[in-house]
Structure 1
Amino acid sequence: MQLIPLSKLDQSEDNVCKRPNPEFEERLSFDIEARGVLQNLIVAKAKKRGRYEVIGGGKRMRAMHRIVERGGMDADFEVPCLVIDRREHNPSEVSLAENFQRLQMTPAEECQAFQHFIKEDGDTAAVAKRFGLTQRFVDGRLRLANLAGPIFEALAVGDITLDIAKAYAATDQHEVQLRVFEQMRHAWNPSADGIRRMIADGSLRGNDPIALLVGEDAYVAAGGKIERDLFSEAADDRWIDVEIAHQLAGAKMEAEAERLAAETGLAWINPVAATNSWSARSELGVNPVRLPPAPLSEEARTRIDEIDARMDDINAIFEDESQREDEGVDLDKLEVEYDTLSNERDDLNNPVRELPGEWHGEAGRFLILTSKGEMVLESDYYSEKRLSFEQDEDGNVTATSEDMPASGSTGSSTARPSTPEAVAPGGEKPISAKLFDELSVQRRNILAASLLGDPGLALDYAIFALCDDRSYESKGTSLKAGKPQDPAYGDIPQSAAEGILAQAEDALDKTWHEPKEVAQRFLAFRELDDEAKAAWLSYVVAVSLEAKKGYNSEYHPIHAVLGNILDVDAATMWRPTSENLFDRINKTSCLAALTDIGGAELAARYAASKKAELSKTCEKLFSGDAIVEEDIKERALAWLPEAMKFDFAQDPGGEDDTPVEPDDDTDRADANGEPTFEEPEDVDEEAAVDA
């Protein structure tokens, strides 16, 4: 064993662990500063005279350099080292053995070790400082040590994992822990999330919109209790007295609803302590008030032209590298400006018409919460009556009112795209929610038209949708409720699919419609031959398909499965045009689409084009009407944006079984990145530092 100055030590290329761990090394440095180096480093003489290469203990060496940097240790501090001879020992083999041959302490032993240190130091803050840890981590380990006896024993013998134990420790009430433990004991493959949900049943999370609206101070002042989960963020704290939270939120929202009703003159403002009102609308049986689109004002048209010009300028800057260098362009700032302009353009192109004042007494709106707990008034109007508004050629709006109850309710999607199919070509920009809605309807119609030819599949799908009651998750069809309500309506671009569906409807045998009584119509339907019934089955299932998943910009995975079974060739029924796509996405996305079919060379041909010209060029290219190379033409006729594809991953998700590389020290961390203790060995007290 030799004492070698730290300044003479270098990292060896033979060390099997190459990547540093700054966070861990920072913690380790505080421990070494407090207690010194408890285990020697393994080194070999370097080629340069007087220097040594560290084969085992690289993290400890880097931790000591951190201490030197903050002035807590001299650069020539003498480090205990075991010097090996390269001729007798393979350095890489020694490094692997030094990292590999360790026995890690169990989580239960870690908890008991912390209890021992707490008894010595007296408080968690002192222990946390001593080991370079956060006080929250130390508190969490102590919470595990205080698990109910049977649960801690199960952790100690390995019957439950550390993650499962943390889930039980989300509450300090042993009776609750044991109740859930008994319920989950015979469950197949219990999950930590499932245990937390059972423990948290009847409580609110700290980041729930209701909790954010009420505020912790008001809730606690009213007698509410909060239980902290020391293994997660403060947002996961649980508010146990849900009734108190709801009473406070209800009073706050009702007061705001009364103020808004007086301000707007509407018949009612209904407060809903949720982030959407669809459930309340269904319970109240109110009907959406559909107003005709508001005309674009001259000011809006002028502003849209200005925005288009500026967006073209920004695109030109992005494409011209020399211009960026000459002017010292801030690309991040331009990107933010572009997104802001794009959002403004979408808003200007979709003006909201206000409800005529004379009808305010017949309609109302819902007051809801944002995810941040802010009260906002939904933009849509609803009425107990069926209000219909029409606009004449002069722009005058007339209305009719019916007292007939209307079933169901709808709302337009405002969700930000978050899935691959909702991203424009190029993968950087999301397409607008409105465009996604329109594309989702067209894609659904293509699938529906294809399903007509396979009544056997339609039957299988129908039976599945009707019989699968194991969950409330959508099956991608509205078989139980007739035709779905589309997210987009009005003048939507058409494809070949709509014509196929119309022809199929005209060809149906409707002779059984004649009887007035439902029983007689049923008997008449039974008289149809199997071919006629199969045609009706295929058609009914086809027109039941939902365009997308609820209010989100997301498709039903089961539709992708159907599309793959049917081998749907969407490109034969739908081609991208200026109207249905290229006018609706930015120039960068149009060029990305060209890159997909012809590479950067094809995109470069049209990079200088204005957006309107580029849109028309793309329409010609992707319809096969342009004179281009044959291979480009073939790819263009097969190209589809993500929003029109029926891609299906056979094994989505799955666990990551990539082995974790061992550290080059006795310093360890669990799968969540949390440090763990190691069993002390005869020469290595420092393993305990790794907690």
Structure 2
Amino acid sequence: MATTVQKITLSSSRDIPFNKLVLSQYNVRRVKAGVSIEELAEDIARRTLLQSLSVRPILDADGVETGMFEIPAGGRRYHALELLVKQKRLAKTAPIPCVVRDPSTDILSEDDSLAENIQRAPLHPLDQFRAFQALRDKGRSEEDIAAAFFTSVNIVKQRLRLVSVSPALLDVYAEDGMSLDQLMAFTVTSDHARQEQVWQALGNAWSKEPYQIRRMLTEKTVRASDRRAVFVGLDTYEAAGGVVLRDLFQSDDGGWLEDVALLDRLADEKLKAEAETIAAEGWKWIEVAVDFPYGHNRGLRRLEGVTAALTEGERAAIEALNAEYAKLEADHAEADELPDDVDQRLGEIETALAAFDNRPVAYAPADIARAGVFVSIGAEGALLVDRGYVRPEDEAPAADPELDSDSAITIEPGRNPPAASVAPRAIITVASPASEPDEEDDEVIKPLPERLVTELTVERTLALRDKLATTPSVAFQTVLHKFCLDVFARYLASGTAMEISVRSASFPVQAQGLKDTHAAKAIAERHKAWEERLPKDKDALWPWLATLTDDEQDALFAHCASFGVNALYEKADRYGGSVSAHTVDQRLADADRLAKAVDLDMVQAGWRPTVENYLGRVPKRRILEAVREGAGDHAAELIDHLKKGDMAKEAERLLADTGWLPEPLRVSDTGDATPDGNGADEPESEALPEFLAGNEDDGVENLEEPLTLAAE
């Protein structure tokens, strides 16, 4: 005999006037969450009620229905309707769709309230992204979508960007094979093929951090903060067809420029145009480059031009600006932090005053005819024009040929101008860094490349010069040491009647950006300050020196002596040339003694290990050795599986604040040259970044607001 299946009877639905409804005290929701009541009310007013209220009849003492109904499930919708009634946008007797529960049921009101709130599947984020895209495809603007769902336009743009990722990767995300943070990282580029290539390249690697994805997608790009990009301008670059990659989910400092070749061409063209304008001034030669190396003007005489005098109006403007600056500072002297408008105004005043200091300099026509100009891009992306340099071969007085100011600029990369030139010529020299052979990861750590050691010791020489210039007592002692070598017969000396000269070593091998380092800038500023004080007439120099105080003489002496520092490593001449291995060893030993005397610390001097200056230039074993010394064994183990490029970039992050230095930058015979990475008190939590801590997170919370149904 077949078993009879009991049929289910659903609760009936009916429209009940709003004034017959009251909120039940059995509603389990107590904590406010999700869309606000005000936003829900606006949504109901726009699209009406999407889900009926669940109600129960209120019975009197005899169990008879009173005509009133309580709401155990749907309290937020009730409050939203109540707000609309108070605003007189909904009638008190307006019929409200309700599902009426049988009062005789044995299911508790709390049971209904709890079930309604937890027995529903949340919308998958990808479904929401695609729904936004569907609205966009049907003509709704981003602003309309944001207004309809009470969110910001930026969040709508973010979600539309997420759904624009490669469909293959969206499928991976839908199957929980990728976190939301990883999906966000892929939005940096719209190239689906490149996105899929990067995901495939990561393969089965245990670490697929978003920063790695972003780095791989932008590895062949240029930051918008690059001096070339600032100089050219993003508008010009994009107008020429260039693409700027942007990250909508975290700060990207203006994004990345994808077409580096186009950027270089635009920078060259703009520099050439500027050079053509400057050529009309009548200079004999013009050299143009994106960036000149440190010491590029060595051996050239700088013309002494005449700075344009201030007009009465300019003097009055300077006085007014200084008075305003002083008043603003006085008015906010007690403030812990300056208001934004005041801080902005102070910056504007400083810029205006600096413009008065950088007034144009006039030169004699005869000097212009034999001198030249360096045109480049400054570190901040502004045009840098350095006028008035005379080459030694142009010093001899001679009848200058008539200059044609309208002559074209000849571009001859990699060549120097001839000794005599009949027309202004601009030479654009784009120096490319010398390539070094890739080293294989052998079992034995090989010595550092000689070029790298030379570049590192160049930086140390500059830092040592800067330190010696601020330590007059040691500078005196250093020169006194040379005096003793010359005076006492027991020492081997080749000097004559007390001759001393300061010979400044040049840096034919140097890392890019050397002139922008702290030591280089400090030396240049100090040199310029003394140069401005020195008398122009050579015969007046001796009596002028006699007018200086002892401290001033000490400081000037130390500054001049510092230019004699040579702590460079050089490759010895195997055929017995001027530089022998013994000479280099003695030089470096002497440099160590000097570094100890002035208490040189390359970390305090601003040196940090980066991919460009060290980590990308050495084998993997050197990188791991550096991380092990600076950040500890555990940090080295976390990156030992990475490829060299990723390992170098991650090592830069791990070593950023450890104070680690490579051997050429350390002071020998000291036990504390580098941090002990194997000690018992290893600061692992400080050395390791958060993304290597192993915490997994699905990343959904990063969307700035919960992903909830708009009307729930």
Q: TM-score, normalised by structure 1?
A: 0.44
Kindly indicate whether structure 1 or structure 2 has the higher relative contact order, using CA contacts under 8 Å at least 6 residues apart: 1
